[in-house]
Structure 1
Amino acid sequence: MGIESVKNSGYYIKEMLMIMPVIFVLTALLDMWVSKEKIMKFLGKDAKAKGVFLAFVIGSISAGPIYAAFPMCVMLHKKGASIRNIIIILSSWAVIKVPMLLNEAKFLGPKFMVIRWILTVVAIIIFSWIADKIIKDKDLPSEETSQVGLIINKGACMGCTLCTKNYPELFEIKSKKAVIKAHDATTIDKEKLQTTINACPVKAIEYIED
């Protein structure tokens, strides 16, 4: 049993190492291509039923394991998506993805799949509404700050090491989080730093000039 557990762990670690770089790239591309105004319009608090429907669609047509959804949801929240819609995306991704429903219908029957899908959707709507009342935007990691200079949002950082690869003279990883090395602010390569900021999949790095 112990050997099988180790084998299973190795399989999932290998899966994560193969999937997460792709997710980081896709998240970065979405961040560049989709404006904050559009995210707020279609997934923000004022999107109402339209936002709920779109959140269900995004979660349902997704591919990959649930942990692949977290970087994207961090990006969506940063750009104005409501907590309720983020919860719907995560929940849909986990339990009502289209490939999952097709397999469920094949092995358990269409009737079982449809009834389970309806009950699950109702439950997601109820619990996302409750969670939205309890959890506030300020409870989630935020990039908002009054500081100036180079800043890393430790709450958002996933320790992906892209910053250390793009600008090793300025960044390093400690305790699975990116940290800023001691440096002279006047010697920062602005172009290299901007490339590093753009490469961060969760936009945890910010440079605010005086």
Structure 2
Amino acid sequence: MSKAVKFIKSNLFLLSVVIAYLVLTIIRPPLGVLGIKNSGYYIKEMLMIMPVIFVLTALLDTWVPKETIIKFLGREAKTKGMVLSFLLGSISAGPIYAAFPFCVMLHKKGASIRNIIIILSSWAVIKIPMLLNEAKFLGLKFMIVRWIITVIAILIFANITNKIVKDKDLPQRKVKEKSGVTINRDACMGCTICTKKYPQLFQMDSKKATVKEYSDLDMELLDSAIKSCPVKAIEYN
């Protein structure tokens, strides 16, 4: 019974969505079926896109030093950081949810809250491909005016959020699973990469990585798992 309760609590939102779809399908079958089809489409899209995003995020985390992120996207980057954040968001590809693991990595390496908000907002509403289509269908003048107003709004919201939300408010907690191995369960995205890299040590529990009982560590496999984690949630001290 306790496992069932734990499962329900861990998947409360998902279960609520499933129940909502069932009720909608019973009351309005055509609308319910359409909703299920649309959800299936987006789930399929996520399964195709997210593995690529995880790999690219891990590569960027490995290749770009923390000092570089702090210099160009940290609190002291100021105008330079905001301009670069707008550029990163505007030239991005893929849906907005693909930006979240990327921004987690940037924040962990020193990017400011303000610049993360700018990247996410730019990614969502002023990507270059979007602007080109907007100019094509609604006209160049409309696109330019809308872009200017949107940029101003993003700057306002980014600065307000930067004053309200602090670094400590983002997932920072590290949970020590076993001696020497530390996992940030708040940052863990449940990508299962660590369980594939080192299945003798890592396992999934409630869609989060945990550590199995062990007596010895294979440092080569552990190092591979640490480096492969897209959000760098695994540490060994």
TM-score normalised by the shorter chain: which range applies?
over 0.9
Tell me how far apart the structure 1 counterparts of residues 52 and 137 of structure 2 sit (CA, whole Å): 31
The one-letter amino acid paired with 2:192 is T
Percent identity between the two aligned chains: 70
Structure 2 contact 74–110 (Cα < 8 Å) conserved: yes
- String of CA shifts for 1:165-188, please: whole Å, max 9, x gaps: 11111111111111111222xx11
Q: TM-score with structure 2 length normalisation?
A: 0.84
TM-align CA RMSD: 1.5
What is the distance in 2 between the residues matched to 1:23 and 1:75?
Answer: 12
Deviation, 1:145, is 8.2
Match of 2:46 among 7, 11, 16: 16
Provide TM-score, normalisation by structure 1: 0.94
Q: Which amino acid aligns with 1:83?
A: I
Q: Does 1:176 align with 2:176?
A: no
1:80-159 aligned within 5 A = 80-142=110-172, 149-159=180-190
Pairwise CA distance, 1:149? 1.1
Partner residue, 1:199: 228
Equivalent position of 1:62 in the other structure: 92
Q: Unmatched 5+ residue regions in structure 2?
A: 1-30
Bigger RCO of structures 1 and 2 (CA < 8 A, at least 6 apart): 1
Q: C-alpha deviations, 1:90-149, integer Å up to 9, x for none?
A: 000000000111111111111111111111100000110010011111111126789961
Given residue 86 of structure 1, which amino acid in structure 2 is its aligned partner? I
> Quick check: which has more Rg, 1 or 2?
2
> Contact 2:175–2:185 at 8 Å: present in 1 too?
no
Aligned partners of 2:107 and 2:113 also within 8 Å: yes
Give SS of 1:206's match. Answer: strand
Q: Structure 2 CA distance, aligned partners of 1:168 and 1:145?
A: 19
Residue matched to 1:163: 194
Determine the C-alpha separation between the residues in 1 that align with 2:151 and 2:137: 21
Q: Distance in 1 between matches of 2:69 and 2:194?
A: 26
The count of aligned residue pairs is 206
Whether 1:75 and 2:115 are equivalent positions in the alignment is: no
